[in-house]
């Protein structure tokens, strides 16, 4: 391919292609069933002058039903593409080269763990033949991960036409190109990913977010949630008991609760007896029996004796005049005027002449003197005996 590399990109056939650092170079590698001293590290040593499996530049493994190799990039990084150079034995790469049969059907994964199933599939060969499979091959996979995993198998019969009967890691070089920092993209990996990208991870070329933090949406996660929604991609409705249907766009906690609800997401009733209303913050009416009322309306279930009404604000009359208290069973004090008193507390509205006090049980007045009633009674007896 004719082209000229200038600074951080190459001009190839009139198009611009960003260049990236080979972040797999001399990193720790591993493979299944190493053969002799053809260790996994040979695929990331930067050497591919000889493409013979018997040389010093290529990896080899036992030929078996499954082949697997991986490189540990050391940390989660932003990857653009993966370059694979398979062994050719320094012979023309065509349908007559035996290595084409063993290369067919391979897969490449990017993962944050050593398990390929935990990652994403970048590429799986399902269409190439011995005559068409390219070598070397570039696999574009703009994603983030710590491990790049090469995998092939011969576990499912019948094999497609041209496939070898076994699999092996005849890899001469694997190069992983991208940015060492996961929070950057673009030219020289110098542009910060958008602020609300989840884990600050974005497409290495376009800068679009793979995921948004909760409470944001859009290709660059620049849009907040519409009112009444929160969470991943703003797709979750706020809890039903949130006041005005509003909640925190990230974690879904309500700004306030409807009457009779409480808790961060207003999914609890009033936890403290004797309260009702918004956020369960209003005390029940004072004359509710046992201080209990409806958690939304504040209406009393029952009233204490002597009170009536939805919120027990009105006093009711006793059916028997001159009685008060529980079931109106207690007579009003003897010296209450006309025998009338408060039906709840038993205090007299007025006292008969000569008596005073809440229940007309106190001192009384005769000719300007204040005397105890029993003392006056003894005095009157003494006078009558003279």
Query: What DSSP string describes 289-338?
Result: GGG-B-TTT--BSSB-TTEESTTS-EE---SSTTEESGGG-EEPPTTBGG
pLDDT recorded at residue 358: 92
Q: What is the mean pLDDT of residues 276-284?
A: 84
pLDDT tens-place string over residues 334-349: 999 988 888 878 899 8
Q: What domains are there in the chain, each with its CATH number?
A: 3-180 (2.60.120.260), 323-385 (no CATH)
| CB-based contacts of 245-252 (< 8 A; 24+ apart in sequence) | 248/215, 249/214, 249/215, 249/216, 249/224, 249/225, 250/213, 250/214, 250/215, 251/214
Res. 6: pLDDT tops 80:
no
Instruction: With beta carbons less than 8 A apart as the criterion, state whether 196 and 88 touch.
Output: no
pLDDT of residue 368: 43
pLDDT at 353 over 70: yes
53 burial via Cβ count (<10 Å: 0-12, 13-18, 19+): buried
Chain-centroid distance of CA 102 in Å reads 45
| Per-residue pLDDT at 280 | 83
Q: Is 333 exposed, middle or buried (CB count within 10 Å of its CB: 0-12, 13-18, 19+)?
A: buried
Cα separation, 9 vs 187, whole angstroms: 8
> The whole model's pTM is what?
0.62
What pLDDT, on the 0 to 100 scale, is given for residue 364? Answer: 66
- How far is Cα 151 from Cα 109, in angstroms, rounded to an integer? 8
Pairing of strands 330-331, 364-366: unpaired
Dihedral over Cα of 220, 221, 227, 232: its sign? positive
Residue with the larger pLDDT of the pair 295 and 15: 295
Residue 371 clears pLDDT 60, i.e. is over it: no
Top pLDDT among 353 and 317 is at: 353
User: Is pLDDT of 367 > 60?
Assistant: no
Q: Are 199 and 173 in contact (CB under 8 A)?
A: no
Across the range 50-56, mean pLDDT stands at 93
Q: Name the band, by pLDDT with cuts 50, 70 and 90, for residue 365.
A: low
Averaged pLDDT score across all residues of the chain: 85
Per residue in 185-212, pLDDT (tens digit) is: 987 899 999 999 999 899 999 999 999 9
- Tens-place pLDDT, residues 101-119: 999 999 999 999 999 999 9
Query: How confident is the model at residue 129, as a pLDDT?
Result: 97
- Whether the pLDDT of residue 18 is over 70: the answer is no
Residue 170 CB: number of other CB atoms within 10 A? 25
User: pLDDT category, 8, cuts 50, 70, 90?
Assistant: very low
Place of tokens 């001293």: 37
Beta bridge partners of 77: 145
Report percent pLDDT > 90 for the chain.
54
Q: How much is the average pLDDT of 247-266?
A: 87
Measured at the CA of 309, the angle between CA 305 and CA 315, to 5 degrees, comes to: 50
**Residue among 359, 351, 332 nearest 343 (CA):** 332
Query: Under 8 Å CB-to-CB from 153, ≥6 apart: which residues?
Result: 65, 66, 67, 105, 167
In this prediction, residue 381 has a pLDDT band, given cuts at 50, 70 and 90, of: very low
The pLDDT of residue 144 is above 80 = yes
């Amino acid at each position: 391919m004719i082209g000229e590399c200038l600074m951080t990109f190459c001009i190839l056939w009139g198009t611009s292609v960003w260049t990236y650092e080979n972040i797999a170079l001399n990193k720790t590698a591993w493979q299944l069933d190493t053969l002799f001293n053809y260790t996994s590290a040979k695929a990331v040593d930067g050497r591919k002058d000889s493409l013979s499996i018997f040389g010093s530049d290529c990896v080899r493994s036992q030929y078996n039903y499954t082949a697997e190799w991986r490189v540990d990039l050391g940390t989660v990084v932003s990857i653009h593409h993966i370059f694979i150079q398979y062994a050719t034995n320094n012979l023309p790469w065509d349908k007559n080269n035996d290595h084409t049969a063993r290369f067919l059907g391979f897969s490449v994964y990017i993962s944050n763990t050593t398990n390929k199933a935990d990652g994403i599939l970048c590429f799986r060969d399902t269409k190439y033949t011995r005559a068409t499979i390219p070598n070397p091959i570039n696999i574009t996979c703009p994603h983030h991960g710590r491990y790049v995993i090469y995998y092939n198998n011969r576990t499912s019969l019948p094999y497609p036409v041209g496939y070898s009967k076994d699999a092996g890691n005849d890899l001469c070089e694997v190069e992983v190109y991208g940015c060492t920092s996961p929070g950057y993209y673009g030219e020289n990996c110098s542009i910060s990913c958008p602020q609300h990208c989840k884990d600050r991870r974005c497409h290495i070329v376009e800068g679009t977010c793979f995921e948004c933090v909760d409470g944001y949406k859009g290709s660059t996660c620049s849009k907040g949630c519409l009112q009444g929604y929160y969470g991943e991609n703003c797709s979750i409705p706020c809890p039903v008991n949130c006041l005005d249907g509003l909640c925190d766009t990230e974690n879904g906690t309500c700004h306030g609760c409807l009457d009779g609800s409480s808790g961060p997401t207003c999914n609890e009733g009033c936890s403290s007896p004797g309260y009702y209303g918004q956020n369960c913050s209003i005390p029940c009416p004072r004359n509710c029996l046992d201080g209990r009322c409806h958690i939304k309306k504040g209406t009393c279930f029952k009233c204490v004796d002597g009170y009536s009404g939805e919120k027990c604000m009105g006093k009711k009359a006793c059916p028997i005049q001159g009685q008060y208290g529980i079931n109106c069973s207690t007579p009003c004090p003897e010296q209450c005027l006309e025998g009338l008193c408060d039906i709840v507390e038993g205090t007299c509205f007025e006292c008969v002449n000569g008596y005073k006090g809440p229940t007309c049980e106190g001192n009384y007045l005769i000719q300007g003197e204040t005397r105890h009633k029993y003392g006056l009674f003894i005095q009157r007896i003494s006078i009558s005996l003279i």
